[in-house]
Structure 1
């Protein structure tokens, strides 16, 4: 039997012992004795019944207090134990949010962004305990979420992530996030020099401005591992218009010279980007799980305790006892109220 109290045990004792002591004192003291009567008289029988009911009532209340105490102790039966891996590293995710990230050539005509979301979920499972930061870029680079271990917030941010509004698109560079990434990694290295750093880039490599892409070489000194994930196909996929409206209306597809514009992956650009970061390039497709690198060995270890126990909770048994006793108390209160309503007030006035 193990206990996982919701409060410190000493605080629980401080709360429950005085109340339990008072109930025990009332139980032992009993009702005030009635005047002596014959053993066989109705008055003597009523007195004994009253004393018995008194003891039963307060004994039940004592059990209620003990059951509440036990429930707050959270008893359980220990089960198997598992070892939990902790990844003491910082992971920066760089996500392309230009219009091409919703090109529909992922899986069975799904947008590429769905693949990005699936791969980030795989990352979260692969590196438990890591801190994640989310950085996106389209017309500008933005740090959507600073380093945090709150993976629920990370997944939530990706679930609501949308590409830039199509009407505001003026072309984009796949290296636009390079300065912000270097700044984020440098800040992480300065605040936590003992932690390793990993970078994962998610994009299609399409350079839609005339200038060459910015280099990520400044980030390589702070990057211990990671990968560049490429999304898309050589055949390309159509892109839906993103209006930014709230009505959910289908605005159709982006067109070029009367036909649907197609976004095509540029793996040469992505490989060059991976070389600048010093990480491998991986082309992603829906029919294969992402090949994720091992976290740096110096920052991957088991929890200090080595084990995390699994227990079968038993507090619900005490909760059922409490529920039953409260039901008895409520039934008794309802009977007393009903009895009071049947009592008649004394009739005033003298004899006729």
Structure 2
């Protein structure tokens, strides 16, 4: 049991303690005075009146503090699915080694590569996964040189498709190096907020990236958010052999120049997918790693979502506090009735004497 303190504790103490002290002092003093005069045959009505008033002060103080008890309502939280898409928008996601594009030679000495970007695979898979879980809530967290929520949790699947159709790589000139944990802080905050609001929801995280890291900092671990994640997958794009990437200045240009190799500007730079890093992220999150090399079905990635199991594991139970005032209010009513009766008797006697 705890107190909700409808009336501030300080106000209760400042108001009740002096009155309580006065009542106790009167009761003790009156009893002592009468004990000296009459001993065993002394009337005790006055003493008990002050003790009753002291009890009334205590009960009213407890009512002001408003005691509460914890209660649990089984199945009180809503049940559903929430999907987070954590999308890599760095320049490496423009590498042209995903999907069923016609193989072409992009530069002398390079092996033929498909002319479809890794980011095209992301677009396909985001839309496909949203369609695989209709009626869910969706959120998109994207990262490049910075991370941010580009789509807050919404049940509007068309908003997800609209985002996927318009997402682009970062502007090449503003690239500040790739870190695969760039979205970790934003994702954790979003997951915790969602858990606090809707503890009964199933939370799925899909991390879509090529795993490449060019920044010098050691990446952080996703293990800290694993308890917040019920499922999902890490989806990998690209090949270990790598592929060139076109520059991007904010406008879509299919014939834009390739990003040059910093060691040999006469050749395009190659971005190589880092599958071991992606497998590590998957292990930290406690979800499977899946390599995506074409626009195949994603239904099997969400096939094991079981809302009945979630409802049975207790997370849909809602904990709350319930006020327990009525016993003390009832006691206060009885004491007030006794006080009124005492005053009525005293007034009647006083009128008869006059």
TM range (shorter): 0.5 to 0.7
Mapped partners of 2:198, 2:304: distance in 1: 17
Specify the alignment match of 2:259 in structure 1. 254
Mapped partners of 1:275, 1:95: distance in 2: 18
Q: Is the 8 A contact 1:88 1:300 kept in 2?
A: no
Query: Which residue among 197, 201, 223 is the counterpart of 1:191?
Result: 197
Report whether the alignment pairs 1:97 with 2:85: no
Q: How does 1:116-195 map to 2 (within 5 A)?
A: 116-195=122-201
Instruction: Give the RMSD, CA atoms, in angstroms.
Output: 2.0
Q: How far apart are 1:94 and its partner, in Å?
A: 0.1
Q: Is the 8 A contact 1:88 1:299 kept in 2?
A: no
In structure 2, the CA distance between the partners of 1:115 and 1:125, relative to structure 1 (3 Å rule), is: same
In structure 2, the CA distance between the partners of 1:124 and 1:300, relative to structure 1 (3 Å rule), is: farther
Q: Is the 8 A contact 1:91 1:133 kept in 2?
A: yes
Specify the alignment match of 1:293 in structure 2. 302
Report whether the alignment pairs 1:211 with 2:190: no
Mapped partners of 1:245, 1:273: distance in 2: 32
Paired residue total? 215
Mapped partners of 1:154, 1:287: distance in 2: 17
Secondary structure of 2:135 counterpart: coil
Mapped partners of 2:80, 2:147: distance in 1: 27
Query: Which residue among 277, 280, 291 is the counterpart of 1:283?
Result: 291
In structure 2, the CA distance between the partners of 1:234 and 1:90, relative to structure 1 (3 Å rule), is: same
| Residues 45-86 of structure 1: CA deviation (Å, up to 9, x unaligned) | xxxxxxxxxxxxxxxxxxxxxxxxxxxxxxxxxxxxxxxxxx
Mapped partners of 2:254, 2:116: distance in 1: 18
Mapped partners of 1:133, 1:299: distance in 2: 23
In structure 2, the CA distance between the partners of 1:170 and 1:114, relative to structure 1 (3 Å rule), is: same
In structure 2, the CA distance between the partners of 1:243 and 1:113, relative to structure 1 (3 Å rule), is: same
Q: How far apart are 1:121 and its partner, in Å?
A: 1.8
Mapped partners of 1:175, 1:103: distance in 2: 20
Q: Is the 8 A contact 1:89 1:130 kept in 2?
A: yes
Q: Is the 8 A contact 2:226 2:285 kept in 1?
A: yes
Q: Is the 8 A contact 2:221 2:284 kept in 1?
A: yes
Specify the alignment match of 1:272 in structure 2. 280
In structure 2, the CA distance between the partners of 1:188 and 1:272, relative to structure 1 (3 Å rule), is: same
Q: How far apart are 1:300 and its partner, in Å?
A: 8.7
Q: Is the 8 A contact 2:81 2:137 kept in 1?
A: yes
Q: Is the 8 A contact 2:125 2:295 kept in 1?
A: no
Mapped partners of 2:309, 2:84: distance in 1: 17
Secondary structure of 1:232 counterpart: coil
Q: Is the 8 A contact 1:205 1:265 kept in 2?
A: yes
Q: How far apart are 1:218 and its partner, in Å?
A: 1.8
Mapped partners of 1:199, 1:249: distance in 2: 32
Report whether the alignment pairs 1:200 with 2:192: no
Specify the alignment match of 2:14 in structure 1. none
Q: Is the 8 A contact 2:124 2:295 kept in 1?
A: no
Secondary structure of 2:228 counterpart: coil
Query: Which residue among 235, 244, 247 is the counterpart of 1:229?
Result: 235
Q: How far apart are 1:294 and its partner, in Å?
A: 2.5
TM-score of the superposition, structure 2-length normalised?
A: 0.58
Q: How far apart are 1:219 and its partner, in Å?
A: 1.3
TM-score of the superposition, structure 1-length normalised?
A: 0.58
